[in-house]
Structure 1
Amino acid sequence: MAERRVVVTGIGLFSPIGIGHQAFEENLLAGKSGVRTIESIPHTAVPGNVGAEVPGFSDSEAKRFLRPVRKSIKVMCRDIQLGVASAIQAFEHSGLDPEAIDHTRLGIDFGANQMLSPPEVLRPAAYACINAETGEFEYHRWGTDGMANMEPLWLLKYLPNMPACHIAIFADSRGPNNSLTLAEASGNAVIGEAMRVIQRGHADMMITGSTGSRIHAVKCLHAMLWEEIARGEGPPETWCRPFDVHRTGQVIGEGAATFILEEEEHARARGATIWGRILGTGSSCATSPDGQTDRRRALANAMRIALRDAGLQPQDIGHINAHGLGERVADREEAAAIRDVFGELADAIPVTSLKGYLGNSGAAGGTLELAGSLLALRRGVIPHTINCDDPDPECGLNIVRGEPLPTKNRVVMNLSVTLVGQAAVAIAEGVAA
């Protein structure tokens, strides 16, 4: 069977720098950050209550974007709402005609964070299990007294497979359907799985994306416990400083991005606009012999696998869209992994990070950042890293700074890695406008 090539024919974006590909692209190329003071939660554990929220997507505003599934909004937490809204937008952007396509050849691969309910939702159930005399929580009462005080549909609002479920209902998708919950690695991982579903001939179209919101009271506590969170004295938009010598940590964020992936001949037969091509992907998880996370090795492994999958050599890559958290250790580990794979080429290959614009949303990061590269490459440029005013010599990378960098090579390697060493890499090719 002839090779089935996979192209991008639709993009849906809900991000801190804009909703929809036009607003996203405009603000990205203008260097406008989406990091600001969090408005939806008055007080969180993160310094300065700083994060990267999606503007224009409050509970009331979200209804406008979710009209086709309005009856289901009541069982969608914010992560699900963002993911479904981005999928609806991508489907419409692709120009797919619901009346003309074979719905048995339409599948879904979607990534998500673990989803948590707000603490106040659990308060009545928790209080029902407290011993009035001792004040202690009695676990054995949860199944009777606690659960009786829970919302009947509580579980459906927070399952990470629910974005794919709601999207399948919206699109009447009857093909392969899967959900991945791999934190930051989710986005690139679902792109890889969806690509292979099409290559194997199991589908012609895949709704593929990821969603995540870390703007959440409990998740902010988790971030402070487990990760290095940025601190600063200047405006919030300057706090996240990937690969800068003065970086102090990451900024939490939220968002969702969805691609319509399509077999190329299928797309051309219906006259679709092609926004990019998926060339290859790779994933790896690595720990050291003593059980410690080895993000450097995981990233290097995933990059090599992706290059092999795409049939490319390091010199074929036009730029790297790095994970670039802005954490002191993580950025050095990532830079070392890039050098492990690219060798002396690492001195010259352009590297960018979009975390200064978008923060770290977890699962949505990989798809949002790949969309950023593909949209910029349509204009013949590489998006630039903001806030990297003094590049760290210990990282030693060729960081794109100041303004978008013109390029003729439209191949991008997109990197993602988790706190526990799960890495996923996607290689794609942009298409000129």
Structure 2
Amino acid sequence: MTDRTDLTEAADDIVITGMGVVTPIGGDVETFWSANLEGRSGIVLEERMDTTGLPCGWTAGLIPEDVREKVAAGHGAPGRSWGDALMHACVEQALTDARLDERPALDGPAALVYARVWPGPTGSDPQDYVTHMEDLARRFDSVGNQPAAVLRYLRGRNLPLETRDLSVYPREIAERLGTAVLPVRLEATCSGGLRAIAEAARLLRSGRARYAVVSAAVSRNTPYVLSQYGQLMALSRWKGDPAQASMPFDKRRTGMVINESAGALVLETAAHAAARGLAGTHAVVGGWGLAVDTSHMTAPRVEMVERVMRTALAEAGATPDQVEAVNAHGTSTRLNDVTEARALHRVFGERMADLPVSAVKSLTGHGSAASGVVETVASALTMCRGVVPPVPTTTEPDPACAVRTSLTPQERPVAAMLKNSFGFGGQYASMFFRRPAAPRPAPQPG
């Protein structure tokens, strides 16, 4: 195939022009990136609730208090859930980064593709769903399903979060953008972030939107969630330094650490970005592979991981030899890490001895659907800055995985890379990214 990594993007290439994050290791992109390179962890003891009765879940990736206060002050609103506030904060960063105020989008609708947990106060407590369904039943008994009657029924009512329809966030984003949006909400567990990017790219390629905003958020650190994961024995049982609790591909790993985090991206075609005068971009979305496997609810399969990686490469017109780094799903669970590693060896063979692998969850913990968006930001920066982040917690690499992680940043040019995300329910996703011909330069120190 023709190697396009150093050529000008084609007009219909999908490029990332804006990025924003709020994570346990930083409330903006540059702070997040610096923490990755420095190996600065955001995983701490979970002291907001009593975990003494649980076999695991003592640690969590928590957003620092100063960042929480900033998000609440800037993006909190009466009746707005914490997850939505996080997404608003990230979207604002991404819109500013894409210079959509300075260089507005061309006329036409925008797409909004977002993934989030239930917007109720607790994040995912069963009682929120019960309350919501009871409210829907009362509404149906009163007015049925006629839109006009439903609108009259809802008008003027101050609905609690757990009974509210999931339409407020898209309306707020449409008002912020000043244009109609095509909203798509995804529910795809831990692969939801990459799936949202793929759906946004599909809408752009089809011409249904001129540009797209992708966002995802998670905040589910509740006793109910911890007990769920605890029953699955999926959470880390590490009792040492909390910062060491998430150790992807390390032979001592005991499970994942859940976090609260959010991320947002702006996507558009290269032609659209050029037409509004944007000089540099962060990454080119080359291709993706998606799959759903119903053979097991929680256990990943090597064949499916291999399949989505090969599909991403094939759709991008790329070969395994062109991949110069992998941003792994890397959850730190016994089964997931070895499954992903075996699939990587099937795809890349002997190249695995020298192929650098990064794993952002070693510092942040696992942010469910948000992780795919946040880790795509890390992938874009890896290519634009020419640095592969370290995996500082993997001090005793597991020979059963045999992937090449590093304890220090690796400065090297990376023209193309793969990003993997997998999730419970048999969800699999992999995405191929290329370095843009004109990478966005790093901000100059103040």
Smaller-chain TM-score bracket: 0.7 to 0.9
Q: Does 1:11 align with 2:16?
A: no
Counterpart of 1:334 (choices 327, 331, 340) is 340
Q: Secondary structure at the match of 1:19?
A: coil
Q: Normalization by structure 2: what TM-score?
A: 0.83
| Aligned residue among 74, 78, 82 for 1:65 | 74
Q: CA deviation at 1:233?
A: 2.9
Partner Cα distance (1:155, 1:410) in 2: 44
Distance 1:13 1:169 in 2: 21
2:178 pairs with 1:169: no
Deviates more, 1:86-95 or 1:267-276: 267-276
CA distance in 2 between counterparts of 1:141 and 1:188 reads 33
Q: 1:199 deviation in Å?
A: 1.5
| Aligned position for 1:351 | 357
Q: Give the conservation status (yes or no) of the 8 Å contact 1:75–1:156.
A: no
**Aligned equivalent of 1:75:** 79
**For 1:269-319, what per-residue CA distance to the aligned partner results, in whole angstroms no more than 9, with x for missing partners?**
32323111111111011244x888543222222111111111111111111
For 1:199 and 1:309, locate their aligned partners in 2 and report how far apart those are by CA, in whole Å.
14
SS of the equivalent of 2:108 reads helix
The superposition leaves residues 69-97 of structure 1 with CA deviations (integer Å, 9 ceiling, x where unpaired) of x6xx2222222211121112211221113
Match of 2:112 in 1: 108
Partner of 2:277: 271
Offset from partner CA, 1:166-193 (integer Å, 9 cap, x none) = 3233223414221111111110001111
Unpaired segments ≥5 residues, structure 2: 1-9, 139-156, 442-446
The equivalent residue for 1:136 is: none
Structure 2 SS opposite 1:308: helix
After TM superposition, the score normalised by the length of structure 1 is: 0.85
Q: Give unpaired runs (5+ residues) of structure 1.
A: 129-138, 145-150
Distance 1:372 1:222 in 2: 29
SS in structure 1 of the partner of residue 78 of structure 2? helix
Matched, 1:375 2:375: no
What's the offset of the Cα at 1:99?
8.7
Residue 422 (structure 1) aligned to one of 415, 421, 427: 427
> What is the distance in 1 between the residues matched to 2:283 and 2:127?
47
| Correspondence for 1:320 among 323, 326, 330 | 326
Whether the aligned pair in 1 keeps the contact of 2:25 and 2:41 (CA below 8 Å) is yes
Instruction: Say whether the 8 Å CA contact 2:105–2:211 is kept in structure 1.
Output: no
Aligned to 2:291: 284
Aligned partners of 2:221, 2:116: CA distance in 1, in Å? Answer: 14
| Residues 303 and 425, structure 1, Cα contact 8 Å, conserved in 2 | yes
Q: Deviations over 1:143-185 (max 9, x none)?
A: 78xxxxxx95224677666544432332234142211111111
What is the aligned partner in structure 2 of residue 148 from structure 1? none
Query: Which residue in the other structure is 2:209 paired with?
Result: 203
**Distance change >3 Å, CA 81–CA 388, structure 1 → 2:** same
AA paired with 1:309? E
Cα deviation for residue 376 of structure 1 reads: 3.0
Q: In the TM superposition, what whole-angstrom CA distance separates every residue of 1:174-220 from its partner, at most 9, and x where no partner exists?
A: 14221111111110001111111112222221111211123233222
Displacement of 1:253 in angstroms is 0.5
Is the aligned partner of 1:240 residue 2:246?
yes
Which residue matches 1:254? Answer: 260
Quote the residue 1:33 is aligned against: 41
Asked whether the equivalents of residues 120 and 162 of structure 2 are also in contact (C-alpha less than 8 Å), the reply is no
8 A Cα contact 2:298 2:424, kept in partner: no
Question: Of 202, 223, 245, which aligns to 2:229?
Answer: 223
RMSD of equivalent CA atoms? 3.2
> Equivalents in 1 of 2:382, 2:176: separation in Å?
30
Deviation, 1:226, is 2.6
Q: What is the letter of the counterpart of residue 115 of structure 2?
A: G
Pick one of 41, 51, 74 that aligns with 2:60: 51
Measured at CA, do residues 122 and 358 of structure 1 come closer, stay the same or move farther in structure 2, by a change above 3 Å? closer
Q: Find the residue that maps to 1:258 and give its secondary structure.
A: strand
Which one-letter code corresponds to 1:31 in the other structure?
Answer: G
Q: Distance in 2 between matches of 1:185 and 1:85?
A: 22
Q: Percent of counterpart pairs with the same letter?
A: 26
Q: 1:281 to 1:142 in 2, by over 3 A?
A: closer
TM-superposed CA distance for 1:26, in Å, is: 1.1
Q: Residues 103 and 63 of structure 1: is their aligned pair in 2 closer, same or farther, counting only changes over 3 Å?
A: farther
What CA distance in whole angstroms lies between the structure 2 residues aligned with 1:140 and 1:87?
Answer: 33
3-state SS, counterpart of residue 21 of structure 2: strand
Equivalent position of 1:409 in the other structure = 414
Matched-pair contact (CA < 8 Å) for 2:22–2:90: yes
